[in-house]
Structure 1
Amino acid sequence: MSGGRRHIGVAERRARLAVRHRLAGPARATAPAEVAEALVALHGSDPATVYLAVGARLAEAAKTVPETERALYEDRTLVRMHGMRHTVFVFPAELTAVVHASTGLTVAARERAHLLKDMAQAGAPDAAWLAEVESAALAALARLGQATATELSAAEPRLREQFTYAAGKSYEGVHTVSTRLLRVLGVEGKVVRGRPLGSWTSSQFRWAPAPDHAELDPAAAQAVLLDRWLHACGPATEADLKWWTGWRVTEVRRALTAIGAQPVTLDEGDTGYVTAGDLPPVTEPSRPWAALLPALDPTAMAWQQRDWYLPPELRPLLFDRSGNVGPTVWWNGLVVGGWAQRRDGEIVWRILDPGIGREAEQAIAAEAERLRGWVGTAKVTPRFRTPVERELSE
């Protein structure tokens, strides 16, 4: 205890991560929905990440692809939609209304304003015209059930209209109304991403009408989301919470107060927070564990302050220049290397911490074989390439 506050050190934080993120062997999940519920959100910017993140945490990894596809496209227990920081995530269906109210509304207002401004500056049709096109596109999507942007444009040709963005500037480009409008509608919670056109690794997808959900009070929704995430990832600092949610610090503090979050001290000297009632110690898993997590994995990307699980000297090797993490190798709650898939499908890895020992190396090799077993002939290339991943994949 420090000043009456509970202290949670690095070892216990790694133990919490192992159990609550379903990474230690006995903690692995039985279904993709369990994984999403445990993590709150699965990064969905790169479609393959969703499956690789689930597969790393399922007790029966062979079920990864069929069970995840069923959850996403048949049972609809998982929904891919825009969320925090205007990033695409996969959420448990019961959280869609919470995410929409807590983060989506603010981002949506900004995105629509930007679209209207860009069209006006380009001399494109006005807001009334865009409203007509939007209404027609949503009606067409309701009839079709699911459709690509091209298929929607066939039903509503005005979606093919183009306008010049940032004319005269170095980043000038030509935008199509369909691309920008569907993005706005996604953030507004009116459409969601449906089945991909190809396999589970494909980044080409269809759009589908968003499921109905209740309209919640934004402050109440923020409290719910923060409580869920803090249970999964606490202790976390205000900086971590602000970064993950994309909220203003005043919103973070309001939500912390609303849920009765408890302050704790951390090894770095910072103040962290856990949910009410989450102060009892968490013991380490009974057995050591290894994991091969994908690029953009929600565990690797959960916190802004990462030194307690990611040695700073490894960051230049495992992240791209925009701060996106690549595939990582874990041993007992610490990132110790990176991995990749070669052109022939072989899973290869590199240990960047030479002191981990033979037991760790054997466990990592077993995880690589486990991954290869369910990925099969599918080829996975991360959307955001990192130095170690590029080198290993050659």
Structure 2
Amino acid sequence: MIATDATPVGGRWFDGRVEKVTWGQVLARRLRRLHVTDPSADLVGTAARLVGLHAQVASSAELIAAVRTPAYERGDIATALWTDRTLVKTWGMRGTLHLFPAAELPQLVAAWAQRQWPKVNAAWERYHGVNLAVLRQVTEIIGEVLPGKVLTREELLAEIAREVRAPGIEAAVRSGWGQMFKPAAAGGLLCSGPERDRNVTFTSPRTWLPDVPWDEQPDEHTAMAAVIERFLDVYGPATHEDFGRWWGTDAAKARRLFKEHAAVMVQVDIDGATCWSTPAALADLQQNKQNDDAVGVHLLPGFDPYVIAPLGHRAYTVPEGFIDRVSRAAGWISPVLLVDGVVRGVWSHELKNGTLTVAVEPSAKVTAATKKAATAAAGRYGELFDSDVRLTWG
């Protein structure tokens, strides 16, 4: 419901005048802000704008960065993570691995404090084999043993097993989902270290990132306001449900957060849909009314942020009946063919004998102009893999 002059929202009073924008304007701005139509100058800047590069599948993080950053070359992420240490790999939004600008980690850790601990019930305990008390003990031990060290999962397990005698602790720590490590990551006690003999490692970000100003870490309220503002600026306008889905919290908690931080947002009507924006983003939408259409053909990689967030935008970006091809089982997000801001197909790629074959499966018949533009878009992946490109249409 759109607020009226008698409706308080988060301590603010609205006079009933709600600015109106169109979905064409919104999607065009999202493409610009997500560096799809407005390229990024550098890798760390790309990660900052997107509030992290989704890295649950490592290759996706590289492709997400590469299609947005013309200067990006293969190996740049590894250099930023393990040599320059300007990026850090850790569990972030929705409990998934992301690559974040190292300098932004203190702010994110402060914001993660409100959801550091999972909702532990009997089902959760049966599934993971431990209870909340054990999880807290494991987190405390991680905070004690990791500073100044880089340990494999087995080495870290040995440190934990010295103190924790709970049944099932070894299986829980060895789990590839990292559930035992996520509270420590959210608390700024653990991040990924460089691979050692094909084994993942973990370390403390407070010693691994010595140049990060941890002493300037904001309080939880200030940090949360900044995160909401950044989400709405880059991914919005959006609803509290959209934010909750992206951040990894339930709708009720997201609603409370929006009310608590209402000072950073304004209400917007998008062709009849009520959403929230930042004042600056709304002004940008109004100033760019002449560019009110999302145009262009793009091949976006798997787990691309344009598709992941906000969930409420999918009704306008994914054709009816095609969502199961885009958002698949086990949370897998397909690479997509994007035409004028709307998903018009999915694609896959295979590198063999120096040729990169990009196979596109459109949701409907596409024009010759779209095929030509898709071929040009595939050229960026050819540059990345230093290969010829062959485009096929299913």
3-state DSSP of counterpart to 1:194: strand
1:81 aligned onto 2:70: no
Q: Equivalent residue for 2:323?
A: 315
Question: Residues 101 and 376 of structure 1: is their aligned pair in 2 closer, same or farther, counting only changes over 3 Å?
Answer: same
Q: Equivalent residue for 1:303?
A: 310
Question: Residues 128 and 361 of structure 1: is their aligned pair in 2 closer, same or farther, counting only changes over 3 Å?
Answer: closer
CA contact (8 A) 1:263 1:271 kept: yes
Q: Equivalent residue for 2:205?
A: 210
CA contact (8 A) 1:101 1:216 kept: yes
Q: Equivalent residue for 2:147?
A: 142
User: How far 1:155 sits from its partner (Å)?
Assistant: 6.7
User: How far 1:181 sits from its partner (Å)?
Assistant: 4.0
Provide the rounded CA distance (Å) in 2 between the counterparts of 1:69 and 1:196: 10
CA contact (8 A) 2:134 2:164 kept: no
| Aligned residue identity for 1:244 | W
| Aligned residue identity for 2:235 | C
Q: Equivalent residue for 1:360?
A: 370
CA contact (8 A) 1:160 1:176 kept: no
3-state DSSP of counterpart to 2:321: helix
Q: Equivalent residue for 2:52?
A: 41
Unaligned runs of 5+ in 1: 166-172, 378-390
Unaligned runs of 5+ in 2: 3-15, 207-211, 388-392
Question: Residues 160 and 364 of structure 1: is their aligned pair in 2 closer, same or farther, counting only changes over 3 Å?
Answer: farther
3-state DSSP of counterpart to 2:181: helix
1:164 aligned onto 2:161: no
Provide the rounded CA distance (Å) in 1 between the counterparts of 2:62 and 2:205: 22
1:272 aligned onto 2:266: no
Provide the rounded CA distance (Å) in 2 between the counterparts of 1:118 and 1:353: 42
Provide the rounded CA distance (Å) in 1 between the counterparts of 2:228 and 2:129: 40
1:245 aligned onto 2:252: no
1:224 aligned onto 2:206: no
CA contact (8 A) 1:159 1:177 kept: no
Provide the rounded CA distance (Å) in 2 between the counterparts of 1:192 and 1:21: 26
3-state DSSP of counterpart to 1:346: strand
Question: Residues 127 and 318 of structure 1: is their aligned pair in 2 closer, same or farther, counting only changes over 3 Å?
Answer: closer
Matches within 5 A, 1:55-70: 55-60=66-71, 63-70=72-79
Q: Deviations over 1:36-78 (max 9, x none)?
A: 1221222122222211100110123xx3333322222233332
CA contact (8 A) 1:32 1:64 kept: no
Provide the rounded CA distance (Å) in 1 between the counterparts of 2:302 and 2:181: 26
Q: Deviations over 1:85-143 (max 9, x none)?
A: 222222223332222222x22433337x679x959x9799x869946x954x5565334
Q: Equivalent residue for 1:388?
A: none
Q: Deviations over 1:132-160 (max 9, x none)?
A: x954x55653343x232134456776389
Residue from 14, 30, 35 that aligns with 1:22: 35
User: How far 1:322 sits from its partner (Å)?
Assistant: 3.9
Q: Equivalent residue for 2:298?
A: 291
| Aligned residue identity for 2:362 | L
Q: Equivalent residue for 1:194?
A: 193
How many pairs align?
Answer: 353
Question: Residues 45 and 161 of structure 1: is their aligned pair in 2 closer, same or farther, counting only changes over 3 Å?
Answer: farther
User: How far 1:227 sits from its partner (Å)?
Assistant: 0.8
| Aligned residue identity for 2:256 | E
Provide the rounded CA distance (Å) in 1 between the counterparts of 2:308 and 2:248: 14
User: How far 1:357 sits from its partner (Å)?
Assistant: 1.8
Provide the rounded CA distance (Å) in 1 between the counterparts of 2:376 and 2:57: 25
Provide the rounded CA distance (Å) in 1 between the counterparts of 2:48 and 2:109: 17
1:175 aligned onto 2:181: no
3-state DSSP of counterpart to 1:299: helix
3-state DSSP of counterpart to 1:40: coil
3-state DSSP of counterpart to 2:337: strand
3-state DSSP of counterpart to 1:312: coil
1:4 aligned onto 2:17: yes
| Aligned residue identity for 2:237 | P
Provide the rounded CA distance (Å) in 1 between the counterparts of 2:85 and 2:308: 25
Question: Residues 143 and 51 of structure 1: is their aligned pair in 2 closer, same or farther, counting only changes over 3 Å?
Answer: same
Identity of aligned residues (%): 21
CA contact (8 A) 1:339 1:347 kept: no
Matches within 5 A, 1:115-126: 118=125
User: How far 1:307 sits from its partner (Å)?
Assistant: 1.6
User: How far 1:17 sits from its partner (Å)?
Assistant: 1.7
Q: Equivalent residue for 2:287?
A: 281
User: How far 1:13 sits from its partner (Å)?
Assistant: 1.5
Provide the rounded CA distance (Å) in 1 between the counterparts of 2:297 and 2:364: 15
User: How far 1:338 sits from its partner (Å)?
Assistant: 1.1
User: How far 1:23 sits from its partner (Å)?
Assistant: 0.8
Q: Deviations over 1:307-360 (max 9, x none)?
A: 222223211112213443111121221211111123636332324244542222
Give RMSD over aligned pairs: 3.7
